[in-house]
A = this chain, B = another copy of it.
Amino acid sequence: MDVRSLRYFIAAYESGSISAAARRCHVAQPSISTALLQLEERLGTPLFERHRRGITPTEEGQRLYPLARQVSEDLDAIGRLFHTPSPPTPIRLGLMRSLGAHRMTDLLKEYINRGDNLALTLVNPEERCDARIIGEQDLVTTECFQPIWHDSYRLALPEGHPLASQATVSLNELDGLPFIWRHPCAAMEQLALALNEAGLRCQVRARLRTIEYTLGLVAAGVGASLVPAWPDILARPDVQCRPVEGLPIHQIIGVAYPARHASPALAPLLALGREAWAQAGLGATG
């Protein structure tokens, strides 16, 4: 009886899926799969029913769950037993706009978990802070940079817009197109520059700051815009995203931190960034 299997069981139980549990535990799916099979073998009873949409616990699985939680948490408590809580480390983190609330909260959650009693304060990236989550283009020379995410940008069009019938859109086709302008945004500035150089007109219908409002206005047919190609944006039915030909707008987002005298409490954040970046790199090549 291994506590590792129990933790995997807990994750699978709470996720309702072996694959999701694997993502949550940062291991590959077969690890959870075989561990659960071994646990069922060891206990002599099936714990889950497998089906296409995931798994549902059997009655035995439901009986095991609270006990497994108990053991797992007791073990964690032992780990903290002699861990004299250090005074909270204040960390001021500057966050640029348009980071993607979902992935950013996941990152912060993990950071707080891994860090040792952090007191996180989120501020604008221009303010004084210990580190900044920003696009690579905004680095200043005294800063080091740890990449986290790679965002490529797409032209966002309302559903049914003529340009949306094409797989890609050329720069010339943007001439005179009404735009929802998001500000500040390096990608939009690049677009403005490109339009200007090509002698194309740029018609701005609205200026605003958040991606969410931008998408709402795009969906309402007020105009087009430029948004990062995040899965949850690409999945929206009311907005269609198309790459702009010959205008590969990318942005690398990461942690910028002072090259000298960086706070040691940043280490887990940098490690998380390294992991996410490596993960994306693997996905890109595979």
Contacts and interface: CB of A to CB of B under 8 A. Distances in A.
Interface string A66-87: 0110110011111101110000
Nearest to A82: B45
A151 B71 CA distance: 46
A53 interface: no
A27 interface: no
B76 A74 contact: no
A1 to B, nearest CB: 5
A37 to B, nearest CB: 15
A64 B81 contact: yes
A6 interface: yes
Interface residues of A, number: 24
A67 B83 CA distance: 15
B68 A1 contact: no
A50 interface: no
20 contacts: A1-B3, A1-B75, A1-B76, A1-B78, A2-B3, A3-B3, A3-B75, A42-B79, A43-B82, A44-B82, A44-B83, A45-B82, A60-B82, A63-B81, A67-B74, A67-B77, A67-B81, A71-B71, A71-B74, A71-B78
Given A2-B3, A43-B78, A60-B81, 13 more contacts: A1-B76, A1-B78, A3-B75, A6-B78, A42-B79, A44-B82, A44-B83, A45-B82, A60-B82, A68-B78, A70-B74, A71-B75, A74-B74
